Amino acid sequence: MILLYAVPELRLIGVEDKGVPNQERVVLQAAENLNLGRYALLVARKFMSVLATQQPTLINDLLFWFGEQQAVAGQRVIVFTGPRRPDPTLRSYGASDLILNWGHASTLFGLPDDIPVLIRLGSGVVGVQGPDEAPTRKIDPLSLSELLKPQGS
């Protein structure tokens, strides 16, 4: 079992219009000014365990990284799961909403047992191409977007 700690600085409000193409969205709200590059969304499915409790299990290949951008306290962060912008007639939360697209070809939360999981990224290792290759550049503590930039840019 994986234990996840609370992420009080970025509140996961829920999923709206579950299963509706180009309208399904995960709604979050920043409780303080923060860099969204430290967070990611995953998808889990609730299964009944031996103890008759629902244990969420992560689904492979479903991760959304917010990217290096700022959210201000009180700002809503809306992540549409579909591949394009939503219908303009959808409910607006406010002029300062941050709208992002996950870009999936289908909805992600159409089944009642599928739920979003918000995680705060804490640590990691950047690999090299093969076991005998040394890194081609010095790796300093950088933001993830800086680390992933092609060399020479």
Taking the model in full, what pTM does it have?
A: 0.75
Predicted local distance difference test score (pLDDT) of residue 127:
75
Averaging pLDDT over each range in 28-32, 80-84, 98-102, 145-149, which range is the top one? 28-32
Mean pLDDT for the stretch of residues 59-64: 92
pLDDT at 88 over 60: no
What percent of the chain lies above the pLDDT cut of 70?
Answer: 69
Interval 128-138: pLDDT, tens: 766 666 555 55
Predicted local distance difference test score (pLDDT) of residue 117:
94
Mean pLDDT for the stretch of residues 94-119: 89
Separation of alpha carbons 88 and 24, rounded Å: 14
Out of 15-19, 28-32, 117-121, 142-146, least confident range = 142-146
Q: What is the 8-class DSSP label of residue 86?
A: P
Out of 9-23, 103-117, 128-142, least confident range = 128-142
Kindly list the distances between the CA atom of residue 77 and the CA atoms of 17, 53, 64, 73, 101, in Å, as whole numbers in the listed order.
16, 31, 13, 11, 11
Mean pLDDT for the stretch of residues 75-98: 74
Mean pLDDT for the stretch of residues 19-48: 92
Identify the three-state secondary structure at position 37: helix
pLDDT at 35 over 90: yes
